[in-house]
Structure 1
Amino acid sequence: MNRKWIGTSWKMNKTKAQAQLFCDGLKSWLSDNQVNDIQCFVIPPFTYLDFVASQLESSDVKVGAQNMAWAENGAFTGEISAEMLTDCGATIVELGHSERREYFAETDERVNAKVKTALKHKLKPLICVGDTLEQKHSGCSVEAVLCQVKQSLVGLSLIEVSNVILAYEPVWAIGEHGQAASIKDVELVHCAIKAYLKSLDHGLVDDVPLLYGGSVNPSNARDLIDCEFVDGLFIGRSAWQVEGYTQIIRLCQ
């Protein structure tokens, strides 16, 4: 793994004007700073996906979507297809976030179907997996997360698996009142995921970026990125302003 992936999802936030300010600030910062060892990515809401992709087109920043339908097209009111995402300039699609699982009843089987559709359309799936606080307290975090990882990859070839991104995001670490996982917690789960990938094929350990997300901020980013099994960071509110995002990039360099 040569480059560290450092990115942010805006969730249901920002106006078009705010998206413009972020893109302008990021482009300006990147023009003055070398980040060859970092793969930056930004995941805006659907409404600004085309706009953000066009604003960042001249940069090395990858742009993604926050969700996607499993179906190719049809009578699925309110859904967005993979073809629509690629047409808007997306190259990544975030799938299986715990908020999608909790509020919109997404199952592991549905996430797997979306992963397959994304890969068919040359989108890189960023698959989110994570344990609940109850699972953590009962000592089964590793088992719970590995189950999600395995279910999300069902039916994929080794080549297809090598084209996904995995993000460990503990449910208890996400959100305004979340608490970042300890280095020990992160290493425990990431080591188990890497071992599972290695059991499929030794080369996959290097091909599949494994990110950590959940209350990442400037005070813990350096320690997290220095973990042996962490290939990048998936950041929330600490990176919603371009100053916060670029600060974390600097720390991770």
Structure 2
Amino acid sequence: MNNGLEETKTLIKGLVDKHGQTNNRIVVAPPFTTLQVAVEEAKGSHIEIAAQNMHFEENGAYTGEISASMLKSIGVKTVILGHSERRAYFNETDEMLSKKVSTAIKHGMDVFFCVGEALRERKVNKHFDVVQFQLEKGVLHLDKALWNHIVIAYEPVWAIGTGETATPEQAQEMHEFIRRIIAKKYDQSLANDISTLYGGSVNPSNAKEIFSKPDVDGGLIGGASLKATDFLSIVDTV
């Protein structure tokens, strides 16, 4: 819940000016109020615009919610689902997220699906169990052919907005584990092809070390994405 109209325009313009024709995948997820402006600013570039959330129903009496068709009507074809803040503050359950994923896929949208453990779960060595459960409930019900719409983002909850960051080794360990889970359910080829992102206080100073790990394909950037210069620096690192 950051950045109004002008800040969003400035961010997108900075990205388009420097990386508008990049081969890397750069996705920006502004608030609902600036999504359409962001789409217009990014037009003609390779910068993608995503929503931070969406409802699983097609329409109806769900005041304050946004549907997949509403997003698509303004040119948004990607959505972040399962973010830890949605799970923690808005009581989004694994069952609810499974419905959201299915609805998004039904509409041909790409999904950045977030998984991750809380500090208490890591302290009692339940972090692998938590992530596996979230994957099983959220996305492992999908047919293999639909996984070209899925990106997995691992965000250790204890490292979001706290300034704490998982060590590169911890990030690599979990990303490798996620690929093993996918390989077990489907096959190794799919597991190798899936993009897995690390989210948890990534900034220009630690990005290089984190992204150098073999199973970390990129980042789900939070606070450091609010300023074009910082975000551009992270993109450069990728």
Shorter-chain TM-score: what band? over 0.9
The TM-score with structure 1 as length reference comes to 0.90
Could you tell me which residue of structure 1 aligns to residue 98 of structure 2? 112
Question: Which of 12, 16, 22 is residue 35 of structure 1 equivalent to?
Answer: 22
Could you tell me which residue of structure 1 aligns to residue 12 of structure 2? 23
CA contact (8 A) 1:174 1:215 kept: yes
In structure 1, distance between residues paired with 2:193 and 2:71? 24
CA contact (8 A) 1:131 1:141 kept: yes
In structure 2, distance between residues paired with 1:178 and 1:105? 24
Could you tell me which residue of structure 2 aligns to residue 220 of structure 1? 206
Q: 1:28 to 1:161 in 2, by over 3 A?
A: closer
Could you tell me which residue of structure 1 aligns to residue 111 of structure 2? 125
Structure 2's unaligned 5+ residue stretches are none
Aligned-partner SS, 1:193:
helix
Shift of 1:30: 2.4
**1:94 matched to 2:83:** no
Aligned-partner SS, 1:203:
helix
For 1:35, the aligned partner's letter is T
Shift of 1:155: 3.0
CA contact (8 A) 2:155 2:199 kept: yes
Structure 1's unaligned 5+ residue stretches are 1-11
- The equivalences for 1:1-253 within 5 A come to 12-30=1-19, 35-36=22-23, 38-175=24-161, 177-199=162-184, 200-252=186-238
In structure 2, distance between residues paired with 1:161 and 1:27? 28
Aligned-partner SS, 2:80:
strand
For 2:217, the aligned partner's letter is D
Percent identical residues: 38
Shift of 1:18: 1.1
For 1:196, the aligned partner's letter is I
In structure 1, distance between residues paired with 2:145 and 2:3? 36
Aligned-partner SS, 2:149:
coil
For 1:189, the aligned partner's letter is M
CA contact (8 A) 2:22 2:46 kept: no
Aligned-partner SS, 1:165:
strand
In structure 1, distance between residues paired with 2:48 and 2:14? 16
CA contact (8 A) 1:97 1:128 kept: yes
In structure 1, distance between residues paired with 2:206 and 2:115? 20
CA contact (8 A) 1:112 1:154 kept: no
The TM-score with structure 2 as length reference comes to 0.96
CA contact (8 A) 2:198 2:219 kept: yes
Aligned-partner SS, 2:62:
coil
Shift of 1:86: 0.8
Higher relative contact order structure (alpha carbons within 8 Å, sequence separation ≥ 6): 1
Per residue, is there more strand in 1 or in 2?
1
Q: How many residues align?
A: 237
Aligned CA RMSD, in angstroms, stands at 1.2
Shift of 1:162: 3.4
Shift of 1:35: 3.2
